[in-house]
Amino acid sequence: MVRRLWPLLVLLTALRGASAQPAKQTIAIPMRDGATLAADLYMPPDHSEEAFPDGIPVILVCTPYNKDQAGPIEYWRQTFLGNGYAFCVEDMRGFYASADAGQGQPRHNDGYDTIEWLAAQKWCNGKVGMLGYSHLGAAQYEAAVTDPPSLACAIPAQAPGNYYTDSLYPPVFRKADYETLLRGPFTQRTPQLINRRIRSYGTSQISSFNVPMTHSAGWFDFYKEGAVEIFRACQEHGGPEAQGNQKLIIGPWGHGVLQEQDPGKPLVLPGGVTFPASAKPDWPKEVWLPWFDHWLKGVENGVMEQPPVRYYLMGAAGEPRAPGNTWVSALDFPPDTSEVAFFAHEDGSLRHRPSDDEETSVSYRYDPRDPVPTVGRVHAQMPVTGPHDQRPVEDRADVLLFTTEPLETPLTIVGQVRVVLYGASDRTDTDFTAKLTDVYPDGRSMIFLDGIVKGRYRDGFLQDALLAPAEVYEFEIDLGYIAIAIAPGHRLRLALSSSNFDRFDINPNTGEAYGDHAVTRALIAERLRGETPGGEPQYAEALVANNTVFMDRARPTRVILPVLP
């Protein structure tokens, strides 16, 4: 009875303005190298050895952001304590109460040691599950790849499978984005994250994953590609317990926990887009408890009989009769689609047919000291969390716009979007960027995808080849995954340029190897109120590039869409 009344008691306490805190034990969990990590352990209110002679499972959260911090962890704790789980939150090695363990020390086995220590406690049934988003999600991948026997399942959210390929390096080169996200210069915390790689290029460790996992991501989160790829890799090539036991959830949110807040109310994203309340899953009832109950308690609740993929097909905001704005279940992602190309034309149109002209191009001047600003950044410590109207930067001379006529029928795009761009530059290295927006009848140009290609890495980041000035090259820009239905009366817009700062770092156009640049420092300090690194920058020179995009019969610049019938 107490167990059933617990959620109600929590609610009534909150309404009275009080805070009923469960009993907490602060413990020191031993690691194999002799260090100890600080953790807070909570037991459910109705727990006793007599009531649970076989023990209870525990939910583990590993965080670098302070285990004592309120916020989503408190919500998670209340959810699981009220449903028969122990709850443990641990400060990662080198952070907060675990600072004495040494931040620079190797931590590869910390997840394994923590999980096995918890599982060995007499109150535990020997099964541990993990939960958390962003760095807390990456900690789950880091633990899972070591294959701890007692890690029965996990729910990593908005997390990279590999900080190196999913977050930082070309072709999606995001040094500036990472600097601001980490609240400091590239040379301090960033290498710690880069070096803690799960998947490295050419040496996959996917077969080491042997854990059922529910991966979740948001369409406006910068880790969605990593979530899709690690889901597919583990589902098809993971260890015996991983293959066929993966789930994927992708919804219309950015990086953070807005989708967990205010259940039953619309999902309001920064930038002015509001999705219906149905866009928010009931995380405890629909995701967390069914998953953990099955894998940690052995409950046959049908969770594994449901399709492995659930994604939200976005539609026009504020248009109730528009297509989309619904959840879709699938066996895999991306689903089977047909490739549909829209071709850029010199007059600014975007059409199904390429140009018949023998030679057509448009040129612009790219100055790395005045890059196209990323529209949607809140400040230096907050990543983009939703779609924003791009009109404030669309009238710049260094932004080329190509727009369709108003659509007569819905255009349903589900999968990976690519731009094939034929371009040239008068410099030995430069960038080309692309954005896709949904242009509403009132003129709003709401972004839903963007991407970049660095000239010298046009054939992949392991092949460094400078450009020959004035030579025309074929570039491919990967815009990533999406699921969106563009409504009739709306238009599709492709915006091309050579910068999108600070979403992507600037290219100084010098052909020098990548490094800490004075222009990047100045722009972060000026535009984002970011911290300025100490010492002298590695590079200071920046050159203006005259770049050209071709769109003729032999060189048809186009966007290639995966379209559902």
pLDDT tens digits, the chain, 565 residues: what are they? 333 333 333 333 333 333 456 789 999 999 999 999 999 999 999 999 898 999 999 999 999 999 998 889 999 999 999 999 999 999 999 999 999 988 656 678 999 999 999 999 999 999 999 999 988 999 999 999 999 999 999 999 998 776 555 555 444 455 555 555 544 444 444 444 444 434 344 456 788 999 999 999 999 988 888 899 889 989 999 999 999 999 999 999 988 888 998 989 999 988 889 999 999 999 999 999 999 999 999 999 999 999 999 999 999 998 989 999 999 999 999 999 999 999 999 999 999 999 999 999 999 999 999 999 999 754 434 555 688 999 999 999 999 999 999 999 999 999 999 999 999 999 999 999 999 999 999 999 999 999 999 999 898 766 789 999 999 999 999 999 999 999 999 999 999 999 998 888 899 999 998 778 899 888 888 876 666 667 888 889 999 999 999 999 999 999 999 999 8
Distance, CA of 121 to CA of 128 (rounded, Å):
11
Q: Do residues 494 and 451 make contact, with C-beta atoms less than 8 angstroms apart?
A: no
Distance, CA of 140 to CA of 131 (rounded, Å):
7
Q: Is 390 left (phi over 0), alpha (psi -120 to 50) or beta?
A: alpha
Token couple for 390: 């791009």
Distance, CA of 219 to CA of 417 (rounded, Å):
13
Beta bridge pairs of residue 247 = 214
- Only one residue has tokens 């979530």, namely 227
Q: What are phi and psi of 62, to 5 degrees?
A: -110, 125
Is residue 249 packed enough to be buried (19+ CB in 10 Å), middle (13-18) or exposed (0-12)? buried
Nearest CA-CA partner of 288 in 82, 484, 117, 486: 82
Q: Which residues, 6+ apart, have CB-to-CB distance to 58 below 8 Å? A: 85, 86, 87, 88, 118, 119, 124, 127, 128, 129
Q: Do residues 267 and 280 make contact, with C-beta atoms less than 8 angstroms apart?
A: yes
The answer to whether the predicted template modeling score (pTM) of the entire model surpasses 0.85 is yes
What domains, with CATH codes, occur in the chain? 2-16+23-162+198-330 (3.40.50.1820), 338-563 (2.60.120.260)
Q: Do residues 342 and 559 make contact, with C-beta atoms less than 8 angstroms apart?
A: yes
- Only one residue has tokens 């910390």, namely 110
Distance, CA of 218 to CA of 312 (rounded, Å):
9
DSSP string, 289-342: HHHHHHHHH----SGGGS-SEEEEEB--TT-TTSS--EEEEESSSS---EEEEE
